Every structure is written in structure tokens, then in C-alpha cells.
Structure 1
Amino acid sequence: MNNQHKLFKYSAVLALSAMSYACGGAQEKAEQSEPEQMEDRIQLIQDEVAKKVDVIIDGEFFTSYIYPDSLEKPVLYPINTANGTAITRGWPVTPRPGERVDHPHHLGLWFNYGDVNGLDFWNNSSAITDKSKYGHIVHKSINSVKSGNEEGVLEVSLDWMNDQGEVLLTENTTFIFSGKENQRTIDRIATLTAPNGEVKLTDNKEGMLGLRTARQLEHPSNKPEIFTDASGKATDVPTMNNEGITGMYLSSEGIKGDDVWGTRGDWVSLTGKINSEAISVAILDYPSNPGFPTYWHARGYGLFAANPLGQKALSDGKDELNFKLGKGESATFKYRIIIYSNENVVEGKVNQDYMEWAK
């Protein structure tokens, strides 16, 4: 429990912001201002003091890009459906009753990796006291914020650093937010560059685009489990009350449930219900990405991640990549996240959306 108490030192501003939106704060803001001309459907609102950019679609809060100093990487948090339901776990920022309190580095939607020149960026959090073997990602600048009727676009620059402040990788990322009735979409396009020398992203199971889901979207827990990271640190994931827990993975290869872990595929969807709302969350890989088609680091306890670089670890040694960038070289990783709500996604819908996007 000591680590849990430490985690509540996260930014008070962040927690209050998330809770205010849960109570309709974003809706109130939208209703208070009625401009003379029609506003863009998709509004991006920058708040430099709170270190966040809020995304509002049709007057409803969707998500925030947050970068407080208390986090070891910027993330999108929380993420809501078109119906206003959070698909992301609340803990450790705004905990909810009945949630798991494992893996404190799993927050919202993030992008990092478990072995970058020997440093672990994935597992770093406020629970880690000795940072010498860990890396962190620092928000450097917001380069562009654009609202629009069809999409909102946010462009940011980040630095992947060691605990001495030395930059291993620079990251220039574009987020594209869009939405329509019963659907919300995030495109995350990240270009990593090695400005100061060769960077090795050695095969490691801890990566790369990660999402930690709300408890209701987990698979029912049938037995306690222990998961060990690449450095040997073990985390207990106990059996919990399964009432209202309905999640189920499905991959583009037709693989279901926990069997999705360690397999390759163009996309994976996670389907379940939160209260009476039918929800599906899909992560889509892109053909030009390194390591395509990605391996899936998808766990029934709520970790939903695409890991194109951890091939040896995820294939039990059948494949090996050991991706690296020479000095000045770059690589781009492009993903789409779709949140469907208020409807059961018909068979083939995710694949159809994937084909339209990937072409």
C-alpha cells in the first residue's frame, strides 16, 4: 500500500480536472458560450497552467493530452465514449471503487518502450525510487493546436531522456481526433529520431502503444496471476469480483480472449459493456510501421497494447527484430484507436474500417 499512497502525489490540478469533466464541467463550458457564428464541432482547448489540451466533440468531453511534471510520460487521459463513459482506468489519478491497483505506469493511452539503449521507459512511474535504469519522456512543446468540423489536430514535441537529462530520442507526434454519432477516433502518428547517436530498441515485451482499460472491459478473472517485467520485478494480479466484467479480445486473425497475447495481427478489438452501454475499442496497426504486423501485448486484466518491436519476447524466440536507429535516422509509428459505443459492432465492421484506413 505504500506505493499506492505515493501515487496520490500526482498533480492535484490533473485530478480535479478529470473529476470536473466527469461531473459535466466540459458541457457547462460549452453551454456558457454561444458565439454568433457556428463553432467547430471538434474543439481543442489548450490550458498551459494545468499542462493539458482538452478535446471536446459536439460539446462533450472526449479526452485530454496531459503532461504534468508528476508523470513519467505524457498521456491521453481520460478517454470517453461518444456517450460520455470513460473506457480508461481511473487509478492512480482518479481512482474508482472496485478497480485494480496494479501496474501504476498503466495510465490512459501512452507510447513508450521497455528497452531503449538498456533503459526501461515502460515501467517508470512515481512508484520507482531509483531512476538510474529507467527513462522518462518529457513534453517539450505544443507546435500546433487546430480545431475543425471534421477533425481536430494536435502536434507536440517530446524528448526521451535518461535520468541524467541526456536525450536518446526526439519524438514529434501528431494526434488527429475525430468523431461522429456512436464513434470516436484517435490517430497517433509518432516520428522517433536519434539525434545524438545510435539507439537500440532491443526486443522487449514491454511496449509500445498502450491503453489501460476500465475494469468492466477486462476479461473475467478466473485465477490470480503474477506478471514479471523484463527486469524481473513481479506484480500480483489477484482474482476479483467478476460482476459486470464482460471484456473479450478479438484479433484480425480470428483469435479470441487471452490467446490474442503474443500473436500478430493487423488489428485487435476489445468488446464489452459498461453498465448498459455496448462498447468496442479497436487498435489498428499500419502497413508502413516497423515490425508490421504488430505483436499484441494484450492482457485480460486491462492492458491493451500493440508491440511491433518485442518480437523475440512475444514469439517465444521464433522471431527477432532488435530494431535500431543510427545517428540522425528516424522511424514513424502510426496507429488508429476507434471507440464504438451504443451498439454492438457487427462482424466485419472493424476489418472494414481498418481496410478503409490502411489503404
Structure 2
Amino acid sequence: MNRILAWAFALLPVAVFAGDVKIVDDGNKAVVTIDGQPFTEYRYTGYAKPILYPVIGPGDKPMTRNYPMVKEVENEASDHPHHKSIWYTHDEVNGVRFWMESPEGQTIKNVGKQVSTSLKIDGDSIMTTSDWRSADGESVCTDERVIRFGTVGDARFIDYEVTWIASSGDLLIGDTKEGTMGIRTHPNLRLKASPKHGNHTVSGQSVNSEGVRGAAMWGKRAAWVDYWGEIDGDTVGVAIFDHPGNPRHPTWWHARDYGLVAANPFGIHDFEKKADGTGDMTLKSGEKMTFKYRFVFHPGDVESAKISERYQEYAK
């Protein structure tokens, strides 16, 4: 584990049992360990949205970018500060932007925040509620999340379930590529280096369930995607599964070659060059809609990790 992550976890409360998932809430974040070893934290205060950071994969490898939670890390690009490790949000919700964020110390009128309103721990899972608020503090909608942690063979996983609730009247989720279930990967899983760090080797490769590879995956529909590369001498990767019960499955992927990967079932206008608004989805007042995803942090590449087989097991 690198020094930054070791320092972060050294400050955390310790309450673990060998062989079990253990979750401890300290009032600002819920700290998750597996087999007594750090896995991740659900940080629900201090940011414009709840995030999972850091995320430690097989062999104690950090799987997501540190920036902007930690500044000036070697080989890391400092673009898109709203790409915070792992998160769930969308940029046009009743006209309010939640994917983008107001710059530090500023409040932009059309940019909202997700405010955590409750958190409960039940065994290997965190159950939360969040209020999506405009810059003026008005509630746009709410959500309920169930986030489960565990292992599958030699891999670690996060199951992330989000239920949208049209709690403040009719809810329009807009057609934009800027969403929704996102991860900003470790720099070594990028498909290309950023100009600022062009001298560093980039080992990242990727493929989706349809066999499309690399940057060509952007905007394509697929049941899953997988990214892998070499981190500290070992090949590791992260696969993201779109549950077959999700609306508009298989989802479209806002999957960039610089480390952003996001499942987005709403951005059809951008992804398929169809009429603006094609991807809009409306919930009537009081209605609910649920999406489920799985992140699998695995050793090896897509073949050795048997990602296609793991997806079939998940889909059952």
C-alpha cells in the first residue's frame, strides 16, 4: 500500500474480525475492512456528493485516483476534480447539475449537492438516504442506497444499489453524457497518459462484454466493462457490471481513455447522436426507480479473472 493510503488508514478506528467484512462509522465516514485489512471508506461528509475512497484491491493495490482528495500525487492528472474515486450522480436532474461541482469557495446557481441524511450499517452493507438539493437548498429528489462489500474468490467486490425517489414532485432525469455510476481509476489503468505525465508508462487495457476494446468503448452499450493494467509490478483490474434488471439494460458507457468510466443509461443524445432529449426519463411524483451495479477488483487480466463468467454468476 502506498504511503498516502497507509497514512489515511492509520487514522481510522480499528474494529475487525478475521474473515469478515467489518464496517465502522465514525460520524463522517464508514470504514470498511475485509479480513482485517483496509478495503474502502464511504465518505458522506465534506464533498458535494458521497464517495468511496480510497479503494484497495488485490495485493493492497490502490484502485482509484487520489486527486483531488490528495493533491500532487506522482503520475496523477489533476483534471476533472469532480471525478472523485467512486460516486453516483447525474448532471441534469430537473435542470440542476449534480455531476459538475462548484469550485472551492464558490457557489454556482445551477450546481447542486447530494446531502447524506441517514446511514445505517447492517453486517456487510451500508444503507443510506440522500437529499439532492439545488444551489438554493431546495430538495430536487431523494435516493436510497444499499452498498454491500465482500469477496468472490480472489477478488473484492462492491455492490452499489441506488433507488431514485421523486419526492418533490415530477422528476426529469436529463439526456446528457455527464453521468452516472462513475469511477476514476488508478492512473496505471488509463488507456493513455495525460499530457502532464506523458513520460510515464501506461499499461491500461480495456474490453466490454461485446468484445469492443480501448477508446472505441465510449458510448457503446454493454453488460459489463473491464479495465486492467500493471500496478506496482502486478496486473490487477476493475470490472463494472450493469445488472440485467436495470432500466435500459444493457447500459451505455461514458468510458474515457484517461481513467473515467461511468455507466450512463440517460445520455443517448450524446452516445448515439440522436435527437436531444431521447435519453430523458421522467418519474411521476412519488414514483421510484432502482439501478444496481457491481464493481469487481480482481488480480490478472479479463481472461484470467474470468470476468464473463463472473458476470453470468452475478446476473443470476
The residue aligned with 2:7 is 20
1:276 equivalenced with 2:248 (yes/no): no
- Contact kept? 1:194, 1:326, Cα under 8 Å: yes
Indicate the percent of aligned positions where both proteins have the same amino acid.
Answer: 34
The aligned residue for residue 53 of structure 2 is 77
Q: Would the aligned equivalents of 1:42 and 1:55 in 2 still touch at CA under 8 Å?
A: yes
Instruction: Please name the residue that 1:46 is paired with.
Output: 25
What residue is the counterpart of 1:330 in the other structure? 288
State the distance in 2 between where 1:83 and 1:208 align: 29
Contact 2:23 2:31 (C-alpha < 8 Å) held by counterparts: yes
Q: Which amino acid aligns with 1:55?
A: V
Q: In the alignment, which residue of structure 2 is the partner of 1:313?
A: 270
The partner residue of 1:161 within 129, 133, 150 is 133
| Deviation (angstroms), 1:106 | 0.4
Residue of structure 1 equivalent to 2:122: 146
Q: Is the 8 A contact 1:251 1:268 kept in 2?
A: yes
Contact 1:173 1:189 (8 Å CA) reproduced: yes
Question: Do structure 1's residue 215 and structure 2's residue 215 form an aligned pair?
Answer: no
CA distance 1:60–1:126, change in 2 (3 Å): farther
Q: Which protein has the larger Cα radius of gyration, Structure 1 or Structure 2?
A: 1
Deviations 1:116-172 (A, max 9, x none): 111110011444824211111001011x2133xxxx111011011111221111110
Which consecutive residues of structure 2, in runs of 5 or more, have no partner in the other structure?
Answer: none
Matched pairs, number? 312
Match of 2:261 among 304, 325, 337: 304
Q: Would the alpha carbon gap of residues 18 and 168 (structure 1) be closer, same or farther in structure 2, given more than 3 Å must change?
A: farther
Verify: 1:67 aligned to 2:44, yes or no: yes
For the Cα contact (< 8 Å) 2:142–2:167, is it kept in 1? yes
Aligned to 2:62: 86
User: CA–CA distance in 2 between the matches of 1:353 and 1:247?
Assistant: 21
Pair 1:277–1:25, CA change in 2 (3 A): farther
SS of residue in 2 equivalent to 1:297: strand
Q: TM-score, normalised by structure 2?
A: 0.92
User: Per the alignment, in what secondary structure is the counterpart of residue 255 of structure 2?
Assistant: coil
Could you tell me which residue of structure 2 aligns to residue 226 of structure 1?
A: none
State the match for 2:216 in structure 1: 259
The answer on whether the counterparts of 2:76 and 2:197 sit within 8 Å (CA) in structure 1 is no
CA contact (8 A) 1:218 1:302 kept: yes
Residue type at the aligned position of 2:200 = E
The aligned residue for residue 240 of structure 1 is 197
Q: Give 4+ residue runs of structure 1 displaced > 6 Å after superposition.
A: none
1:238 deviation in Å?
A: 3.1
Q: Distance in 1 between matches of 2:199 and 2:4?
A: 30
State the AA in 2 paired with 1:98.
N
The alignment status of 1:58 with 2:35, answered yes or no, reads: yes
Is 1:179 matched with 2:179?
A: no
Contact 1:244 1:274 survives alignment (8 Å): no
Give distance in 2, aligned partners of 1:17 and 1:344: 26
Aligned residue for 1:5? Answer: none
Cα RMSD of the aligned pairs, angstroms, is 2.3
- Tell me how far apart the structure 2 counterparts of residues 141 and 42 of structure 1 sit (CA, whole Å): 21
> Cα distance 1:182–1:242, how it changes in 2: closer, same or farther (>3 A)?
farther
Aligned equivalents of 2:284 and 2:111: distance in 1?
Answer: 21
- Name the amino acid aligned to 1:219: L
- Decide which of 64, 86, 105 is 1:109's aligned counterpart: 86
Relative to the length of structure 1, the TM-score reads: 0.81
